């Protein structure tokens, strides 16, 4: 018996494999799956993203500090910036 845990393959490992429109749609779909109780209020969400857009860690929609998709992280009320910026 093999005790090695199964890992899902990452299908978005290379930027060259990402279709920007599909990526955006995927992030929006994931955000829409959040319940109203899980979602950051719209004004706070926009404030979080304003901070990210001025942050040197932001690169191609990902946070260089933690590797998250910032729009998805910011959309979850309980999430925090790894550097305490929001
Ligand atoms: S989550 Fe924090 S560290 Fe990452 S890009 Fe946004 S502000 Fe910068």
- Count of structural domains within the chain: 1
Is 69 within the bounds of a domain?
Answer: yes
| 68 domain-assigned | yes
Question: Does residue 19 sit within a domain?
Answer: no
- Measured over the CA atoms of residue 5, residue 9, residue 13 and residue 14, the dihedral's sign is positive
Residue 2 in any domain: the answer is no
Torsion angles phi and psi, residue 59, rounded to 5: -145, 115
pLDDT of the residue at 3? 55
Whether the per-residue pLDDT at 11 is higher than 80: the answer is no
In a domain, 18, yes or no: no
Burial of 46 (0-12, 13-18, 19+ CB in 10 A): exposed
User: To test the ligand 1 pocket, which listed residue (70, 74, 84) has its Cβ within 8 A of the most ligand atoms?
Assistant: 70
Name the residue range of residue 60's domain: 40-86
Cα(15) to centroid of ligand 1, in Å?
20
Within a domain: 83? yes
Please write the tens of the pLDDT for every residue from 15-40: 677 778 888 888 899 999 999 999 99
Q: What is the model's pTM?
A: 0.80
């Amino acid at each position: 018996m093999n005790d090695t845990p199964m890992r899902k393959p990452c299908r978005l490992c290379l930027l060259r494999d990402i279709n920007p429109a599909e990526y955006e749609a995927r992030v929006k779909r994931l955000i829409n799956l959040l319940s109203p109780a899980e979602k950051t209020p719209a004004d706070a969400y926009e404030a979080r993203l304003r901070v990210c857009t001025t942050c040197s860690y932001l690169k191609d929609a990902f946070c260089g500090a933690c590797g998250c998709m910032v729009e998805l992280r910011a959309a979850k009320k309980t999430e925090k910036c790894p550097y305490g910026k929001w």
